[in-house]
Amino acid sequence: MTARLLLIDDDARLTTMVVDYLQANGFEVASAGTLSAGRERLRQGAFDALLLDLMLPDGDGLDLTRELRADARTRRLPLLMLTARGEPPDRIVGLEIGADDYLAKPFSPRELLGRIRAVLRRTLAPRLVEPNDVRAYTFSGWKLDTTARSLTTPKGETVSLGGAEFRLLAILLAHAPRVLGRTELMELMRGRDLDPFDRSVDVRVSRLRQTLREDARAPQIIKTVYGEGYLIGVPVERMQ
């Protein structure tokens, strides 16, 4: 599942840059230029994290932060403050009233990406599955043994699998039939930073498909959901 972010900031140029960069890294991003528009966005739908500027045309982002933390529906919404007010007292106040992180402007888009991932990692962790909690997975005649770290074909032959490909396959199987985006897969593969044009996940998926003897034009085991990510498209049985 793609994480949904809401950015509330009145700087149109910064908003365009941040939205484009985060979307290129697998996030779904909505934006608002005022507190009132941001409140309306929050009423209309659920988000996985909020990126909030403090100095807005119709008020102070700190006021919205207090509102969110007082509301049971949004009390746990991860919140990252983005602001030109980067002095220590400002940061302390922001963190004390409920921000999960604080990034002063100007900032590096890559640092923003890393901080968002760190915040989401803490909040999404309980929903993620550790592949090694299951002794083995069987799917379409194949068997992935997480204890022996081996892959067996439907004919009983053992196939060589690199460490990164083994973990990627185990992660996809552990979360089947859920769709996992590229960014989420990188996080699950131990949080490696992902550049906007990094295609390592796609390369590893391609290698796994070759190993699983899939038709590259119409794969059935590891399927692509365009614009979202990858999923296991066949039934998976788990052996505890």
Decide if 106 contacts 119 (C-beta within 8 A): no
Report the alpha-carbon distance of residue 144 to residue 74 in Å, rounded. Answer: 40
Going along 33-141, which residue ranges are E strands?
49-53, 55-56, 59-60, 79-83, 101-104, 136-139
pTM for the full model?
A: 0.55
Decide if 103 contacts 115 (C-beta within 8 A): yes
String of b and e for 196-215 (b: at least 16 CB within 10 Å)?
eeeebbeebbeebbebbebe
For residue 152, give both structure tokens.
């067996």
**Which has more confidence, 178 or 53?**
53
For residue 176, give both structure tokens.
């089947």
User: How far from 237 is each of 132, 210, 233, CA to CA, in Å?
Assistant: 14, 22, 13
Lowest-confidence pick of 4-8, 71-75, 141-145, 171-175:
71-75
Report the alpha-carbon distance of residue 32 to residue 228 in Å, rounded. Answer: 23
Lowest-confidence pick of 33-47, 69-83, 145-159:
69-83
Residue 72 has pLDDT above 80, yes or no: no
The full set of domains in the chain, from first to last, is 4-127 (3.40.50.2300), 131-239 (1.10.10.10)
pLDDT tens for each residue of 19-65: 999 999 889 999 999 999 999 999 888 888 999 998 899 999 999 99
Question: Which residue pairs, CB below 8 angstroms and at least 24 apart, start in 88-95?
Answer: 90/54, 93/62, 94/54, 94/62, 94/65
Lowest-confidence pick of 13-27, 65-79, 129-143:
129-143
Lowest-confidence pick of 88-102, 148-162, 186-200:
186-200
CA R_g for the chain: 21
Residue 215 has pLDDT above 50, yes or no: yes
